[in-house]
């Protein structure tokens, strides 16, 4: 029997391993480092995932769609689907491993779960706030500029559109730096940042209360320290307390 694949090995193997596994290849396949994270999403989403418990919609405000249908509270969301939320809408979705997340701000999210013992979330636009339970499956959170590996973590990610040139902070509104396309905050826990086609994480974030970065491809090292923007402790508390069905994520670190 194949040993459970580690988070570091998932990140090192990258997207081609995920795609190969989806098409029936073994987990033990060896990949060249330059192939990592070069995901063929057309192949990955071109067929349904293996049967398993679906995700569930816990909240649907405004227009929320997946697979050409409008979603309502209680509806299932299948692995391999793309969830779309209107600009002024909001959706809360729970996954089989007790992960729960909020999508808003015109979000488009590709979702694969129960695959190689982790979930894969690819945020194309909008924002994503998630609580991943300790002891649960690993997760890869993909965006335009980096892939983030998480486990037992609360995190926030936003992909900025042309209209997203300002952001809310605890101290008021700030301008989003020119050239910034992506933002990631490790609200609590540990995450690993990995550039596309890289074989190793280039940065590890460890946070007890929000460690955030803007991502700009013109910046040396890609990331620059940022404040906590567009997500706040009361929203995290609401997500966990009101929508996480199983054991609740530890919230003692929040400053309310």
Q: Is residue 84 part of a domain?
A: yes
As a residue count, the chain comes to 256
Count: domains in the chain? 1
CB-based contact 38:146 (threshold 8 Å): no
Q: Is residue 254 part of a domain?
A: no
Full pLDDT tens readout for the chain, 256 residues: 333 334 444 444 343 334 333 322 222 222 223 333 333 434 444 434 444 568 999 999 999 999 889 999 999 999 899 999 999 999 999 998 889 999 999 999 999 876 556 789 999 999 999 999 887 667 999 999 999 999 899 999 999 998 899 999 999 999 999 989 999 999 999 999 998 778 789 999 999 999 999 999 888 889 999 999 999 999 999 999 999 998 999 999 999 9
How many helices (DSSP H) and strands (DSSP E) are in the chain?
3, 17
Q: Is residue 124 part of a domain?
A: yes
Q: Which residues pair with 139 in a beta bridge?
A: 119, 150
Q: Please state the pTM of the whole predicted model.
A: 0.82
Containing domain of residue 209, as a range?
A: 59-243
The CATH number for 130's domain is 2.60.120.1440
Give 11's contacts (C-beta < 8 A, 6+ positions apart).
Answer: 36, 140, 147, 149, 192, 194, 200, 201
């Amino acid at each position: 029997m194949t040993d459970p694949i580690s988070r570091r090995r998932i990140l090192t193997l990258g997207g081609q391993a995920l795609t190969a596994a989806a098409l029936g290849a073994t987990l033990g396949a060896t990949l060249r480092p330059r192939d990592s994270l070069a995901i063929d999403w057309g192949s990955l989403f071109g067929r349904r995932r293996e049967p398993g418990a679906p995700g569930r919609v816990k909240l649907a405000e405004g227009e929320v769609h997946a697979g050409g249908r409008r979603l309502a509270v209680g509806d299932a969301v299948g692995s391999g689907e793309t969830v779309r939320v209107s600009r002024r809408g909001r959706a809360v979705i729970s996954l089989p491993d007790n992960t729960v997340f909020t999508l808003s701000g015109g979000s488009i999210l590709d979702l694969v779960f129960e695959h190689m013992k982790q979930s894969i979330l690819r945020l194309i636009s909008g924002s994503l706030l998630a609580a991943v339970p300790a002891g649960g499956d690993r997760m890869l959170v993909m965006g335009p500029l980096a892939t983030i590996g998480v486990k037992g973590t609360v995190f926030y990610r936003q992909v900025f559109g042309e209209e997203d040139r300002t952001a809310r902070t605890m101290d008021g509104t700030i301008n989003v730096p020119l050239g910034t396309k992506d933002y990631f905050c490790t609200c609590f826990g540990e995450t690993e940042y990995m550039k596309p086609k890289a074989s190793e994480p280039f940065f590890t974030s460890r946070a007890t209360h929000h460690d955030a970065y803007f991502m700009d491809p013109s910046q040396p090292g890609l990331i620059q320290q940022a404040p906590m923007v567009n997500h706040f402790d009361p929203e995290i508390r609401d997500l966990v307390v009101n929508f996480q069905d199983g054991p609740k994520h530890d919230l003692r670190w929040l400053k309310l």
